Amino acid sequence: MEKRLLNLLTALCIASFPFLFKGTKMRENLVVFFSKGVIATLIDAYVVGTKKIEYPVRPFPKIFKTNIIYDMLFFPILSVIWVKLSYNDNLSKILLKSLIFSVPMSIGQWYFEKNSGLFKWKKWTPFHTFGCVNFTLFIIRGLVGLLKKLDKIKGNQHITN
């Protein structure tokens, strides 16, 4: 069952690519995707290395101790979607929209931890998931805000030159 769930998740992630990586914001979407992949992989490597979480069923178990589908596909794609939904929002709307992602993610992980062998929490709770999801979403959103400011500066310099 676990391998089928991972295969389904992989297929859904790959199927979403043509819809998410098109249009005028493609550069930002790619920056979000790859940045979130790096951040998620680093955090997950730490969490697994300190034995807070274990992934009994994962792709390439002899190479990776983490689940690379979560770290390099699923979480980055969710971040791209979140940035698209919050791109023009003020801080209060961004905070509210972060709950739309972090609360279901926390509940979903709690459910799958209890009812599947995808991962086992050793020193982890849904509150840790909630905190990590929000932390990484806000890091990525801050990066996008920085890119927007740099684009604005670059655009103003182009106009004056």
pLDDT tens profile 42-73: 999 999 999 999 999 999 999 999 999 999 99
- pLDDT at residue 158, as a whole number: 54
- pLDDT at residue 45, as a whole number: 96
Cα–Cα nearest to 55, from 16, 130, 105, 5: 5
- pLDDT at residue 22, as a whole number: 84
- pLDDT at residue 156, as a whole number: 66
pTM above 0.95?
A: no
Q: Are 10 and 69 in contact (CB under 8 A)?
A: yes
Ranges of residues in the chain with a pLDDT under 70 are 156-161
Within 8 A by CB and 6+ apart from 144, the residues are: 28, 31, 32, 83, 87
Cα–Cα nearest to 105, from 142, 134, 76: 134
- pLDDT at residue 28, as a whole number: 87
